[in-house]
């Protein structure tokens, strides 16, 4: 259903009337852009908090998942999932039962089918919040980092991820990407984005951060983080720097285990802290904690999410941050390893957290906090301190004045031509050329018109419309080449390699999309076998740029890195290979030698350009 002007006016009036009746906050002029921690606003918010029941106060601390495309009428399968996991039927019942202060969207929870549906879901959530005993709008959040972590897919604009932007090195591009992404999220009713990633990725073996980081140089990362924060927040949404105090040097995934960071206090200050300091200086609205142990920062070896020395001592007191602190998801093993699910939310609040994100069992977590307040373990004043920060943020975002969005606003903002064109231009400036033997690239349509595209087709992030091989081949077809796609997988078998070799016969060049190649990976065998045919082979690392270190001796003629396999980055890489764009990306991380990991094969800042470059006519 399209909201006509009269309908939107009614919704806005309802929101303003309800919020004004409860707080008077809606009457404040310009709160979306003005600072909101002044005495007058705080006084009004404190009067609102004083009228809330204890159950409502506890609920405001939680941000929860919920299944379904609609706040009140989800599909039956989603109703069943909600009942099984949360004990409610839908988002509206979740809000009325637990008074949650926020909801997080996931594609796998069927929250993000298409732009109009997302907008309607957001409106339904806000209506449910304003229908409560104390009318309160909600913070609607998601992880829209771009690159390999994206919850809202096409037709929304998909932009290069963090490491790609790091390769581009442009703070202007980083800010533009944040502004575009923020504007589109705001149009969908999503007002808190868990981005950018402020981790400094100094460990090539990092299984959870990697290309989600801008790079390995703390100052470069700090500058890009600040630029993205300003871009997102200029669009009227809350930005979130993550994962404090820094998740960049680990070989353990905090989703499945508890990583330990062995940096000294001095190393932390030099390597991990600068991007978070920059985010604070840029006015970051929220900071997300990491489920990691840093003994040099807290000898108790509690996860940072549960560490008062880290969250209060360092983040609040040393860095001077007084915004919203949100946990990483509480269902991750990193935070559940040491304590049970009923203790984790209590300890997080005692450590200095404000928002408790996505606990595995909301009933257990919610009642644990409620009982801790009733018993005096957590003071009600401590809870109110966090609620005040959360309500300040909601006020800053203008949610007390008008939390609703319209289909017309969606159509004017999401996936519009100017945004898509900007994404393409930015992506072209991130593609990195690492090797170009004999100046094979750019591929001429005269001598290399007939192409074979093979390689890995990993599970697709939301920013893709098909397998990478198909996307790359399609991009070359649009550029006037003949291109055949053949998926060989991340671990090609001997039979699949033989099939690829047979398919290469008669082709002018082969493009191989590689994905996290190791010394023992059969992807190496694939590249070697294809090179042995005499057909020129171009490798494109579609995730981590470290693949080239393990491809030495395989005979490939050229190698590039795209830092992700989303459509925008793969299409840009195809244009670079074809000479429709110049390779401008520079490595934001070093690539170490496979046979001597302490030595750099390619240093930070490395990247080739074409010796002579004249873009061919289309």
Q: Which residues are catalytic?
A: 255, 328
In angstroms, the CA 569 to CA 547 distance is 17
Structure tokens at 102: 């926020």
Contacts of 211 (CB under 8 A, 6+ apart): 147, 148, 161, 162, 163, 164, 543, 544, 545, 563, 564
Q: What is the strand order of the sheet 432-436 is part of?
A: 432-436, 558-561, 537-541, 509-514, 450-455, 482-487
- Spatial separation of the C-alpha atoms in residues 257 and 155, rounded to whole Å: 35
Return the closest-CA partner of residue 163 out of 546, 420, 430, 460. 430
Tokens of 182: 């923020």
Place of tokens 């904690």: 289
What tokens appear for 475 in the block?
A: 């991009």
Q: What span, in angstroms and rounded, lies between the C-alpha atoms of 543 and 550?
A: 14
Per the structure block, which two tokens stand in for 15? Answer: 């929101």
* Calpha distance 562→430 (Å, rounded): 7
Mapped onto helix, strand or coil, the DSSP state of residue 140 is strand
Q: Report the relative pairing of strands 509-514 and 139-142 from DSSP bridges.
A: unpaired
d(CA 143, CA 152): 9
Q: CA triplet 593, 525, 205: central angle to 5 degrees? A: 40
DSSP state of 557: S
Other CB atoms within 10 A of residue 160 CB: 33
> Are 140 and 210 in contact, with CB atoms under 8 Å apart?
no
């Amino acid at each position: 259903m399209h909201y006509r002007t009269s309908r939107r006016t009614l919704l806005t009036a309802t929101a303003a009337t309800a919020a004004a009746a409860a707080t008077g906050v809606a009457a404040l002029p310009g709160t979306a852009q003005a600072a909101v921690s002044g005495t007058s606003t705080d006084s009004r918010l404190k009067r609102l908090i004083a009228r809330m029941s204890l159950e409502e106060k506890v609920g405001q601390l939680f941000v929860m998942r919920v299944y379904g495309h609609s706040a009140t009428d989800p599909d039956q399968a989603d109703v069943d999932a909600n009942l099984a996991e949360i004990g409610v039927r839908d988002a509206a019942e979740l809000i009325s039962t637990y008074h949650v202060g926020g909801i997080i969207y996931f594609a796998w929870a069927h929250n993000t089918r298409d732009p109009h549906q997302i907008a309607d879901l957001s409106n339904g959530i806000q209506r449910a919040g304003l229908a409560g005993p104390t009318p309160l709008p909600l913070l609607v959040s998601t992880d829209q980092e771009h690159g390999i972590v994206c919850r809202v897919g096409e037709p929304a604009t998909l932009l290069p991820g963090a490491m790609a932007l790091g390769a581009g090195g442009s703070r202007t591009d980083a800010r533009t990407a944040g502004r575009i992404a923020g504007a589109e999220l705001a149009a969908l009713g999503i007002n808190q984005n868990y981005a950018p990633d402020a981790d400094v990725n100094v460990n090539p073996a990092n299984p959870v951060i990697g290309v989600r980081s801008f790079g390995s140089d703390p100052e470069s990362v700090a500058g890009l983080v600040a630029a993205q924060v300003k871009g997102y927040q200029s669009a009227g949404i809350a930005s979130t720097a993550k994962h404090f105090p820094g998740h960049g040097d680990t070989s353990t995934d905090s989703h499945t285990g508890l990583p330990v960071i062995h940096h000294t206090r001095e190393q932390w200050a030099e390597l991990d802290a600068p991007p978070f300091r920059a985010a604070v200086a840029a006015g970051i609205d929220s900071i997300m904690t990491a489920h990691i142990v840093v003994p040099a920062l807290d000898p108790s070896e509690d996860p940072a999410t549960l560490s008062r020395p880290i969250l209060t001592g360092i983040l609040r007191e040393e860095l001077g941050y007084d915004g919203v602190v949100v946990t990483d998801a509480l269902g991750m093993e990193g935070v559940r390893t040491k304590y049970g699910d009923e203790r984790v939310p209590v300890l997080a609040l005692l450590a200095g957290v404000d928002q408790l994100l996505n606990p595995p069992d909301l009933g257990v977590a919610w009642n644990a906090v409620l009982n801790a307040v009733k018993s005096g373990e957590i003071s009600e004043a401590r809870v109110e301190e966090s609620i005040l920060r959360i309500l300040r943020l909601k006020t800053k975002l203008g949610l007390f004045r008008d939390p609703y969005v319209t289909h017309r606003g969606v159509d004017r903002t999401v996936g519009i031509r100017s945004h898509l064109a900007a994404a393409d231009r930015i992506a072209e400036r991130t593609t990195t050329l690492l090797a170009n033997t004999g100046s094979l690239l750019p591929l001429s349509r005269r001598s290399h018109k007939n192409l074979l595209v093979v390689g890995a087709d990993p599970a697709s992030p939301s920013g893709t419309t098909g397998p990478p091989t198909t996307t790359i081949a399609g991009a070359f077809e649009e550029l006037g080449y003949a291109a055949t796609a053949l998926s060989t997988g991340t671990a090609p078998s001997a039979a699949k390699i033989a099939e690829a070799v047979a398919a290469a016969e008669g082709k002018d060049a082969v493009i191989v999309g590689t994905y996290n190649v190791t010394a023992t990976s059969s992807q190496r065998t694939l590249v070697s076998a294809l090179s042995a045919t005499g057909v020129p082979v171009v490798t494109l690392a579609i995730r981590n740029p470290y693949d080239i270190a393990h491809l030495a001796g395989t005979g490939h003629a050229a190698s590039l890195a795209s830092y992700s396999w989303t459509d925008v980055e793969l299409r840009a890489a195809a244009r670079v290979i074809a000479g429709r764009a110049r390779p401008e990306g520079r490595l934001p991380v070093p690539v170490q030698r496979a046979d001597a990991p302490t030595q750099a094969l390619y240093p930070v800042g490395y990247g080739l350009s074409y010796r002579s470059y004249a873009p061919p006519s289309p």
